[in-house]
């Protein structure tokens, strides 16, 4: 069995909030942010699995603070755990004010991806080898989140 550390597939995506990304109040639309987060999570999953991966579920999205036109958005995606054919990816988005340099976490979410083979069917993925204390905590909690989402269906 192959084990990979989360750092191997960790992904960082950067965007700038432009007027077409915002609502009439100049705030970043939640849907646009989730789209950006989904792309970062997909890249992370595909690097880990070395396969094409598709979004199966977004387990939880917390919108903590708004972002505005001109803010720089940094999105970090990191695998927490792999289960046979699926993977949980933790994604955190931060907003940076250009003129002040102030950073703030604006959103966090857990995405579930499934790896697919050339036959377009789910295929096995490498296991995760958590290294840091944070990796180990997220790894343990991923099983609880998975069991919780199965029990609510």
Least confident of 3-7, 9-13, 145-149: 145-149
Of 38, 53, 45, 56, nearest in space to 116 by CA: 53
Of 137, 93, 131, 90, nearest in space to 112 by CA: 90
- What is the phi-psi region of residue 140: left when phi exceeds 0, alpha when psi lies from -120 to 50, beta otherwise? alpha
pLDDT of residue 33: 98
Topology (CATH level 3) of domain 3-151: Thiol Ester Dehydrase; Chain A (3.10.129)
pLDDT of residue 60: 84
Backbone angles phi, psi at 18, to 5 degrees: -105, 165
Q: Spell out the domain ranges in the chain.
A: 3-151
pLDDT of residue 152: 60
Q: What is the pLDDT of residues 20-36, one digit of tens each?
A: 999 999 999 999 999 99
Q: What is the pLDDT of residues 125-153, one digit of tens each?
A: 999 999 999 999 999 999 999 888 766 65
pTM of structure: 0.94
């Amino acid at each position: 069995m192959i084990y990979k550390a989360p750092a191997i597939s960790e992904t960082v995506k950067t965007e700038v909030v432009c007027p077409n990304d915002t609502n009439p109040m100049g705030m970043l639309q939640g849907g646009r942010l989730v789209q950006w987060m989904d792309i970062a999570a997909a890249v992370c999953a595909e690097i880990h699995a070395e396969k094409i991966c598709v979004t199966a579920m977004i387990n939880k999205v917390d919108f903590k603070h708004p972002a505005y036109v001109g803010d720089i958005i940094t999105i970090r995606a990191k695998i927490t755990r792999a289960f046979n054919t699926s993977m949980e990816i933790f994604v955190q988005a931060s907003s940076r004010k250009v003129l002040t340099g102030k950073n703030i976490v604006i959103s966090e979410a857990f995405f579930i991806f499934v790896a697919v083979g050339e036959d377009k069917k789910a295929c096995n993925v490498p296991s995760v080898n958590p290294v840091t204390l944070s990796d180990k905590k997220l790894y343990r909690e991923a099983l609880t989140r998975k069991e919780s989402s199965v029990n609510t269906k």
